[in-house]
Amino acid sequence: MEKASHLSVIIDLSPTQWHLSAQTSNQYPLSIETFLSQLLAFLNAHIASKHENSLVIFGALPGKSVLLYSSTELLSDDVPSLDANSYLPFKLVDSAVVQRIMNEFDAIGELEEEPPCALVGAVTKALCYINRITHPSSTTAGVAEDPSIVHDPRILILSVSPDLSSSYIPIMNAIFSAQKLALTIDVCKVYGPDTVFLQQAAHLTNGSYIYLERRDALLQYLIMSFLSPTSIRKILAVPKQDKIDFRAACFCHKNIVDIGFVCSVCLSSTHYLLLSCDLAVFCQPLPVCSTCRLATLVP
């Protein structure tokens, strides 16, 4: 008998990226409406596969992250009107998610410059949430959360934005926390270039990183790869990922580098500037280590 599983979904809601994704010049254009309808079908499948399955959805919006839906808390009091053809748990998720995303998009309005999406905030919130349900404290004893029912927690990140190199360290910290909580991070790259950091996140937590090649088949990818709990995946041979890039972001220019100078004192990576083979001149990006200000760079 399979135990109930918990799924935290993080949706990358960058308006710019979704606009680009919907362009008809793409081979397989995917608009956010189509995306949401397929995603909701997947989420309904998760809820339906076991009554005790729990679900939390976070949205990463420009500059902030929000909780869109939680199966343990009802966020809004207005229960949607139920028609005869809908199943209440599905209806609750669908209307809450769509409603809140629309509200958030309306609130964004016209900005001159879109701040980058707060993916880190969403991931850390998901971790705190999982920490809360897997380690119920004595202060909340009595709340109907039995630790034994939370099993096999997973985080699924649906990413459309490229890597944000300033989030390198927080993402790494999040990965290590995920390892400590023994949870799996799955990544579905819906649009845009591969992200190095999320590849590492999936690899280090034994999750799958899947780059969506046929974007019109989103739902099929989701159900085939991400619906099954980790305990069943060994049997199912779920696709993992190809090459993994272990590159890091340098501290000085936030470039993603494959060879870097690392300060022996603080181990912060400094960018390897190979502008010419004359290393003595060009390989001197900083007179002192930018982080600890103790080391000197003497090539």
Partner 1 sequence: MAPRNRDDNFMDVDSDSDISLLGDVERRGKGKGKGKAADKRKKDKGKAKAKEQAYTWEASYTRSWDTVQEDEAGSLQGAVEDLMARGRRRRLLAPAAAIRRTIIRHLVLLLDLSAAMMDRDMRPTRFDLMLQYAREFVVEWFDQNPLGQIGVVGMRAGIGERIGEMSGNPQDVLKCLSDRTRLEPTGEPSLQNAIEMARSSMSHLPTHSSREILIIFGSLTTCDPGNIHDTLDACVKNKIRISVVALAAEMKISRDLCDKTGGQFGVAMNEGHFKDILFELVPPPAQRAVARAGGPGANPAADLMMMGFPTRLPDSSPPSLCACHSDMKTEGFLCPRCMAKVCDVPTDCDICGLMIVSSPHLARSYHHLFPVKPYETVTSMEGESETTPACHACARIFSTSASTAAASEGISLWGRYRCPDCHNDFCTECDVFVHDVIHCCPGCGK
Q: How far is the CB of 125 from partner 1 (least distance, A)?
A: 5
Does residue 140 touch partner 1 according to CB under 8 A?
Answer: yes
Q: What's the chain's length in residues? A: 299
In one-letter notation, the amino acid at residue 118 is A
Binding of partner 1 by 250 (CB under 8 A):
no
Task: Determine which residue in the list 66, 263, 283, 286 makes contact with Zn ion, applying CB under 5 A.
Answer: 263
Q: What distance in Å separates the CA atoms of residue 257 and residue 247, rounded to the nearest whole number? A: 6
Instruction: For residues 298 and 208, give the distance between their C-alpha atoms in angstroms, rounded to a whole number.
Output: 42
Can you tell me which of 37, 131, 255, 290 binds partner 1, judged by CB under 8 A? 131
Q: Which does 190 bind (CB under 5 to 8 A by kind): Zn ion, partner 1, none?
A: none
Query: Site residues for partner 1, window 256-295 (CB under 8 A)?
Result: 257-270, 272, 288-289, 291-295
Q: Compare residues 67 and 266 and give the one whose CB is closer to Zn ion.
A: 266
CB of 192 to Zn ion, least distance (A): 23
Which residues 39-98 are close enough to bind partner 1 by CB under 8 A? 65, 67, 70, 73
Binding flag, residue 181, partner 1 (CB under 8 A): yes
Q: What is the dihedral of CA 161, 163, 165, 170, to 10 degrees?
A: 90
Site for Zn ion in 221-250 (CB under 5 A): 250
Q: DSSP string of 133-173?
A: HHS--GGGBTBS--GGG--S-EEEEEE-SPP-GGGHHHHHH
Terminal alpha carbon distance of the chain: 62
